C-alpha cells in the first residue's frame, strides 16, 4: 500500500559538482552549497514524514519543487505523503510525474496501480488503446530522454552501415541494415509518440473530491456527468477558468481549472 514503505533520500549530484569544480571553481562552490541545502531540506521532509507530520512533509517537499527541484524521488515522496493524507488525486498526480523520471521503478509502479484501483470512477479504455499499449509496451519502460537517445543512435548507425555497405558490400552489413531498419520502424515512431504524450498532449488529474463536467465553459451550463478525485483525462481546450477534458472512454466536457491539476 502506498505510503507504508520508506520515502526516498535525496541523491546528491556528485558528477555535476565535480564537472563544475574542474572548470568553474567559484561557480561550483555555489552549486555545492545549493545542493547541500537541498539535501538537508529533503532530509527534513523525510523526517517529518516518518514523524507522521504529513502536512509539514508536504510543505517541505513542495517548497523544494517550487525551488526548481524535479526528480522521481521527490515526486514519489509527495505521492506517498498525499496518499497518507487521503488526497488520492494529488497522489495520482505526483506518481504520474514520478513515472516520467523512473518508469521502471517497481515500488513506484506498484503504488501507482494501487492508487488507481482506489478511485471511485472506473473508466474503461477502448480496445484499440489497450492493443496499442500492448504492442508498444516498451514505451512505458523508458524515459523520454532514453527513447530519443536510443532512436537517434540507431538512426545514425543505420546510415553509417548503409554508407559502408555501398562502398563495400558484405552479407553481414546487409543483414545488419535490415535489422537496424526494422528497429528504426519501431523506435522512431515510439520516440515521436513518447514526445507527443509528454511534451505536446497535456493530461489533467481531478484533485477535488468531486467535479461536475459541463457542456460549456460556464457555471450555468448543462451538467453532463461527474468525476471524482483521481480521474485522468486529456486537456483539449482552455477558456477562462475552465478546461475541456476528454476521458479514455471518449466522454468529454468542461470543468473548473481549480478542480484539476495539469501534468506539464
Q: Which of 64, 97, 146 has its CA nearest to residue 264?
A: 97
Q: What is the mean pLDDT of the chain?
A: 88
For residue 4, what pLDDT is reported?
A: 54
Buried-exposed string 45-58: b where 16+ CB fall within 10 A, e elsewhere? bbebbeeeebebbb
Give residue limits of the domains in the chain: 14-117, 128-200, 202-263
Q: How confident is the model over 66-95, as pLDDT tens digits?
A: 999 999 999 999 999 999 999 999 999 999
pTM for the complete prediction?
0.85
The upper half-sphere exposure of residue 237, i.e. CA atoms within 13 Å in the direction of its Cβ, equals 10
Q: Are 66 and 75 in contact (CB under 8 A)?
A: no
> What does residue 103 show for φ and ψ, rounded to 5 degrees?
-65, -20
Q: How confident is the model over 113-146, as pLDDT tens digits?
A: 999 999 999 888 888 888 888 888 888 999 999 9
Relative orientation angle of helices 106-117 and 88-99, to the nearest 10 degrees: 150
* CATH architecture for residues 202-263: Roll (2.30)
**Which three three-digit cell numbers place residue 157?**
548507425
Cα dihedral 221/223/225/227 (nearest 10): 60
Percentage of residues in the chain having pLDDT higher than 90: 72
Q: Which of 142, 49, 46, 66 has its CA nearest to residue 100?
A: 142
Q: How confident is the model over 171-209, as pLDDT tens digits?
A: 888 899 999 999 999 999 999 999 999 999 999 999 999
Distance of CA 11 to the CA centre of its chain: 19
Q: Is the CATH code 3.40.640.10 the one for domain 14-117?
A: no
**What is the SS3 assignment for 71-126?**
CHHHHHHHHHHHHHCCCHHHHHHHHHHHHCCCCCCHHHHHHHHHHHHCCCCCCCCC
Task: Mean pLDDT check: name the lowest of 38-42, 53-57, 90-94, 257-261.
Answer: 38-42
Per-residue pLDDT for 222 more than 70?
A: yes
For residue 21, what pLDDT is reported?
A: 45
Amino acid at each position: 500500500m502506498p505510503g507504508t514503505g520508506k520515502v526516498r533520500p535525496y541523491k546528491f549530484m556528485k558528477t555535476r559538482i565535480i564537472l563544475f569544480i574542474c572548470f568553474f571553481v567559484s561557480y561550483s562552490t555555489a552549486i555545492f552549497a545549493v545542493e547541500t541545502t537541498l539535501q538537508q531540506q529533503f532530509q527534513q521532509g523525510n523526517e517529518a514524514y516518518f514523524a507522521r507530520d504529513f502536512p509539514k512533509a508536504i510543505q517541505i517537499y513542495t517548497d523544494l519543487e517550487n525551488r526548481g527541484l524535479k526528480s522521481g524521488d521527490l515526486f514519489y515522496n509527495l505521492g506517498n505523503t498525499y496518499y497518507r493524507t487521503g488526497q488520492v488525486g494529488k497522489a495520482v498526480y505526483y506518481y504520474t510525474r514520478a513515472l516520467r523520471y523512473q518508469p521502471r521503478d517497481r515500488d513506484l509502479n506498484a503504488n501507482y496501480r494501487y492508487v488507481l484501483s482506489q478511485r471511485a470512477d472506473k473508466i474503461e479504455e477502448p480496445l484499440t488503446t489497450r492493443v496499442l499499449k500492448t504492442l508498444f509496451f516498451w514505451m512505458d519502460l523508458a524515459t523520454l530522454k532514453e527513447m530519443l537517445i536510443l532512436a537517434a543512435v540507431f538512426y545514425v548507425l543505420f546510415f553509417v552501415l548503409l554508407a559502408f555497405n555501398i562502398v563495400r558490400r558484405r552479407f553481414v552489413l546487409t543483414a545488419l541494415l535490415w535489422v537496424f531498419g526494422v528497429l528504426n520502424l519501431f523506435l522512431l515512431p515510439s520516440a515521436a509518440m513518447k514526445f507527443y504524450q509528454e511534451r505536446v498532449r497535456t493530461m489533467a488529474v481531478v484533485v477535488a473530491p468531486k467535479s461536475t463536467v459541463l457542456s460549456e465553459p460556464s457555471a450555468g451550463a448543462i451538467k453532463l456527468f461527474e468525476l471524482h478525485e483521481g480521474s485522468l483525462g486529456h486537456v483539449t481546450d482552455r477558456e477562462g477558468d475552465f478546461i475541456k477534458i476528454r476521458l479514455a472512454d471518449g466522454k468529454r466536457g468542461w470543468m473548473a481549472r481549480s478542480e484539476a491539476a495539469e501534468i506539464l
